[in-house]
């Protein structure tokens, strides 16, 4: 999986968790849309346009698309998120050996 694909999946995960799967097309570029289309073809995501009449156009950056994950995609994203976290700080707490008294 390319770095751009990984990055987009992490963005989509944030959209799913924080915004009910709604994404803002203004935050995506041409490459992102091509990747989203490819991920959809591969069955990893379902990425679709929100019908125009449902888009709230009064906001500066309206949500324009929806995304859903396949079950296997959640596993992939979990590994990506953990890998990213591990770059900054170990996420596993290990129990230090107790010293004999």
CA atoms within 13 A on the CB side of 25: 14
Residue 98, pLDDT score: 55
H or E element in which residue 14 lies: helix 3-19
pLDDT tens, per residue, the chain with 101 residues: 999 999 999 999 999 999 899 998 889 999 999 999 999 999 999 999 888 888 887 777 788 899 999 999 999 999 999 988 888 887 676 665 555 55
Q: Where are the beta strands (DSSP E) in 1-101?
A: 22-23, 45-49, 65-69
Residue 42, pLDDT score: 97
Q: Which domains does the chain have, with CATH numbers?
A: 3-88 (1.10.10.10)
Query: Distance (Å, rounded) from C-alpha 97 to C-alpha 77?
Result: 33
Give the pTM: 0.81
């Amino acid at each position: 999986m390319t770095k751009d694909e990984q990055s987009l999946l992490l963005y989509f995960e944030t959209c799913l968790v924080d915004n009910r799967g709604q994404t803002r097309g203004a935050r995506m570029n041409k490459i992102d849309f091509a990747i989203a289309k490819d991920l959809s073809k591969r069955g990893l995501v379902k990425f679709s346009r929100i019908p125009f009449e449902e888009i709230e156009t009064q906001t500066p950056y309206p949500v324009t698309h929806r995304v859903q994950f396949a079950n296997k995609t959640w596993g992939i994203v979990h590994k990506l998120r953990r890998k990213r976290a591990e770059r900054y700080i170990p996420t596993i707490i290990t129990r230090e050996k107790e010293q004999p008294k």
